[in-house]
């Protein structure tokens, strides 16, 4: 096998792996994106209410 063929095969394999990885990422992004939901208004900030508990150091 000549050096040119080896380099072309290496580049071809690299491109196929890169295309497969891109396809997988795009598949995950498409699955987790929610374009069909309308944008929600930002929720109003409410003061945080802490539950009162006894100290557990005794």
Give the model's pLDDT for residue 36.
64
Q: Exposure pattern of 14-33 as b/e (b: 16+ CB <10 Å)?
A: eeeeeeeeeeeeeeeeeeee
| Percent composition of the chain: helix, strand, coil (DSSP 3-state, to 5) | 50, 0, 50
Sign of the CA dihedral with 22 first, then 28, 31, and 34 last: negative
pLDDT at 31: 85
Output the six-digit token pair for 14.
């690299």
- Model pTM greater than 0.85? no
Query: Per residue in 14-48, pLDDT tens?
Result: 999 999 999 999 999 988 876 666 666 666 766 66
């Amino acid at each position: 096998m000549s050096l040119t063929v080896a380099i072309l095969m290496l580049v071809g394999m690299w491109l196929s792996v890169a295309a497969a990885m891109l396809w997988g990422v795009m598949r995950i992004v498409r699955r987790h994106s929610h374009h069909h939901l309308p944008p929600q208004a930002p929720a109003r900030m409410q003061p945080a209410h802490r539950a009162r508990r006894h100290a557990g150091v005794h």
